[in-house]
Amino acid sequence: MSDRLAQVEALRKSRPRSRLIRWSAMLAVVCSVLVWLTSDISLADMFSTKRLGHLDRFITNDMLPAKLRGDAFTWGGLGDWCGEQFQLNGARAMLATLCISVLAIVLAAVAGAMLGAFGARNLMSAHPFLPHATVGHGDCSHWLDRVAQFTRLICILLRAVPEYIWAYLLLAMLGTSAWPAVLALAIHNAGILGRLAGETIENLPSQPLRALSMAGGTRRDVAVVGVFPMALGRYLLYFFYRFETCVREATVLGMLGVVSLGYYVIEARAHGQYSTMLFLIFLGGLLVMLADIVSDVARRWLQKGI
């Protein structure tokens, strides 16, 4: 037993250690302590008598519909009220949010695929997927490399600006409608999917694509016959992952005035209808959960074929 403990201790001492991780952890702890000590945030203020009174009033009164408060509360009455709210605004808000999400992610997927193709350095070389020793330095090689670099910079710009900023700009240009939210989500996700598509193409096995190129295939032949079917499965994984994100963000963008769940949440809050607001928030969470389930099932199915 002592020999085994000695071996375990020797393995523990010989384990790889990173100074970067240690110093990063120490810096994070120090910064957290400094922020806590120098800011105006007080833990005692969170549990003050005034705030606890607001919380008690919200739980016992505001969060329930007016006709179900106090002794009038019944589970059957709550179910009837939820059905009324769903028919009033819930179903329309969920459908609007879902439509915005689907349209945005489809536009983003198309744009992202094009950006990925033009941003992949191996596909945009003078002779796609051929070894550098056999390529030479033609006049178009430098120009194609610039195109790939410029496309990657576009992807960085598109995803660097948050969806909310794009939505603010588009609302000023296009007015209040669903299109600012659709385009804002599509622009931001096109940058993300474009970068992921480019990385996917660059990480594809080069042997079959090289054979196709050496057999006389043009760049379009290599892209359509070789790259597209090989990269499609991986790209769809990213597509469904970003879809569930679009559903969540479409809900939030409604708070800017776009008709979605977020719009009705803000409207209920403005009228002091906290019970309606909580119900709509629950519908938003339910919609995100359903999108996550669909995305997870699709990704699992796709991963079996990759």
What local confidence, expressed as pLDDT, does residue 136 receive?
44
Residue 194 has pLDDT above 90, yes or no: yes
Q: How do the residues of the chain divide into helix, strand and coil, expressed in percent and rounded to 5?
A: 80, 0, 20
pTM, 2 dp:
0.79
CA atoms within 13 A on the CB side of 174: 17
Domain-located, residue 62: no
What local confidence, expressed as pLDDT, does residue 305 receive?
62
Helix 274-305 to helix 261-270 angle, to the nearest 10 degrees?
A: 160
Q: d(Cα 282, Cα 231) in Å, to the nearest integer? A: 37
Q: Mean per-residue pLDDT for 99-110?
A: 95
Among the listed residues 94, 98, 95, 62, the one whose alpha carbon sits nearest the alpha carbon of residue 276:
62
Which tops the pLDDT comparison, 47 or 2? 47
Domain-located, residue 118: yes
What local confidence, expressed as pLDDT, does residue 195 receive?
93
What local confidence, expressed as pLDDT, does residue 283 receive?
92
Domain-located, residue 290: yes
CA diameter of the chain:
85
Percent of the residues in the chain that have a pLDDT greater than 90, as a whole number: 29
Provide the domain count of the chain: 1
**191: phi then psi, degrees, rounded to nearest 5:** -65, -40
First to last CA, the chain: 46
User: What does R_g of the chain's alpha carbons equal in angstroms?
Assistant: 27
CATH of the domain at 245: 1.10.3720.10
Which tokens go with 18? 């990173």
| Cβ neighbour number for residue 37 with a 10 Å cutoff | 7
Among the listed residues 156, 150, 147, 155, the one whose alpha carbon sits nearest the alpha carbon of residue 124:
147
Q: d(Cα 299, Cα 241) in Å, to the nearest integer? A: 8
- Give the tens place of pLDDT for each residue, 106-151: 999 999 999 998 988 887 776 666 655 444 444 555 677 788 889 9
Q: d(Cα 260, Cα 129) in Å, to the nearest integer? A: 46
Domain-located, residue 186: yes
Residue 294 has pLDDT above 90, yes or no: no
Residue 17 has pLDDT above 80, yes or no: no
- Give the tens place of pLDDT for each residue, 236-252: 889 988 998 899 899 88
Percent of the residues in the chain that have a pLDDT greater than 70, as a whole number: 90
Give the range among 74-78, 121-125, 198-202, 289-293 with minimum mean pLDDT: 121-125
Work out the angle at residue 235's Cα, subtended by the Cα atoms of residues 239 and 207, and round it to the nearest 5 degrees: 175
How far, rounded to the nearest angstrom, does the alpha carbon of residue 296 sit from its chain's CA centroid? 14
Among the listed residues 107, 288, 129, 141, the one whose alpha carbon sits nearest the alpha carbon of residue 222:
129
CA distances (Å), 131 to each of 2, 117, 134, 154, 212, in order? 57, 19, 6, 28, 13
Please give the residue range of the domain that contains residue 227: 90-126+139-305
What local confidence, expressed as pLDDT, does residue 100 receive?
93
Which tokens go with 271? 């009228």
Domain-located, residue 4: no
Q: What amino acid is encoded at 4 in this protein?
A: R
What local confidence, expressed as pLDDT, does residue 128 receive?
66
Domain-located, residue 78: no
What local confidence, expressed as pLDDT, does residue 104 receive?
95
Sign of CA dihedral 165, 170, 176, 180: negative
Which tokens go with 224? 């359509």
Domain-located, residue 47: no
Domain-located, residue 100: yes
